[in-house]
């Protein structure tokens, strides 16, 4: 509440009600009424209070919880941006790994058909070994693309 904020800032600045009243040009009773909540200062007096306390008008009239929430919002968006950047980097890395593996397996199959045959013979899965390798490479690329294109 405004009444509590005026009291808090007055005490923080080490002023009595009378000293504050002199500084902004009102009576001590006016300060007392503002702090008790029985009356509210006019706009020009609110401006004088904010100047006296060296704070903005928002800081004077807004609730502390609202100020705290407003200051937490950028922190949350920064965390979201950091996690999005990490996901983006992971996606790019996975795409690159998948692409490199596909290129290398293609080169291996063309330059050394025996190595591809050995890979196929070593596989216990009914799909040939080179087929499993290709599937893993493509899967890596798909996961990478999903991470890159995912929106929060």
What is the 3 state secondary structure string of 58-93?
HHHHCCHHHHHHHHHHHHHHHHHHHHHHHHHHHHHH
Kindly give, in sequence order, each residue whose CB lies less than 8 Å from that of residue 31, ignoring residues fewer than 6 positions away.
6, 10, 17, 18, 20, 21
Kindly give, in sequence order, each residue whose CB lies less than 8 Å from that of residue 142, ignoring residues fewer than 6 positions away.
98
pTM of the model: 0.43
CATH classification of 2-62, choosing from 1.10.260.40, 3.40.50.170, 3.50.50.60, 1.10.40.30? 1.10.260.40
Each of the 152 residues of the chain gets a pLDDT tens digit; together they read: 888 889 988 998 899 999 999 988 999 999 999 999 898 888 898 889 988 988 988 888 887 654 454 455 555 667 777 777 888 888 888 888 888 888 887 787 788 878 777 776 776 655 666 677 778 888 888 888 887 787 65
Report the pLDDT value the prediction gives residue 136, as an integer from 0 to 100. Answer: 82
Does residue 99 contact residue 136 with C-beta atoms inside 8 Å?
no
């Amino acid at each position: 509440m405004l009444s509590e904020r005026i009291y808090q800032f007055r005490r923080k600045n080490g002023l009595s009600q009378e000293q504050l009243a002199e500084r902004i040009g009102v009576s001590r009773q006016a300060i007392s009424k503002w702090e008790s909540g029985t009356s509210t200062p006019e706009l020009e007096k609110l401006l004088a209070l904010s100047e006296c306390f060296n704070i903005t008008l928002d800081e004077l009239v807004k609730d502390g919880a609202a100020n705290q929430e407003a200051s937490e919002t950028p922190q949350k968006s920064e965390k979201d941006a950091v996690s999005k950047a990490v996901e983006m980097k992971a996606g790019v890395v996975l795409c690159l790994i998948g692409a490199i593996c596909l290129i290398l397996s293609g080169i291996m199959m063309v330059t050394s058909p025996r190595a591809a045959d050995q890979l196929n013979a070593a596989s216990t899965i009914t799909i040939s070994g080179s087929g499993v390798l290709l599937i893993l490479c493509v899967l890596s690329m798909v996961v990478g693309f999903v991470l890159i294109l995912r929106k929060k």
